[in-house]
Amino acid sequence: AVPRALVNRDTTGVVKLVANEATGELLGAHVLAQGAGDVIQAAVVAMNYHATIDEIAAMFHPYLTMAEALKLAAQTFSKDVADLSCCAS
């Protein structure tokens, strides 16, 4: 779960990223959660600049915001979900 969602006591939702397998470029994002607008806006900017999953995972996403969900979702392409955050489960 995203730390902000845990604080809000509302962990229902999902973030799904679609990337080009060969290049890692982000092709699309689906966000169904409270605060989805903040997350999808960041995803749209990333897509407009042809960002890769690795670049998104390395970018600064403020802690304790729903926008952090984008970073955590990008990190799942190369890390175990259990290792993402002190608060992620």
Q: Would you say how long the chain is, in residues?
A: 89
pLDDT at residue number 86: 58
pLDDT value for 87? 57
Per-block mean pLDDT, blocks of 10 residues, the chain (89 long):
91 96 98 94 97 97 92 93 63
- Listed residue (34, 33, 61, 32) closest to 45, CA to CA: 61
- Position 81 scores a pLDDT of 74
Task: Give the C-alpha separation, 69 to 57, whole Å.
Answer: 10
Q: With beta carbons less than 8 A apart as the criterion, state whether 87 and 60 touch.
A: no
Structural domains in the chain, sorted by start: 3-78 (3.30.390.30)
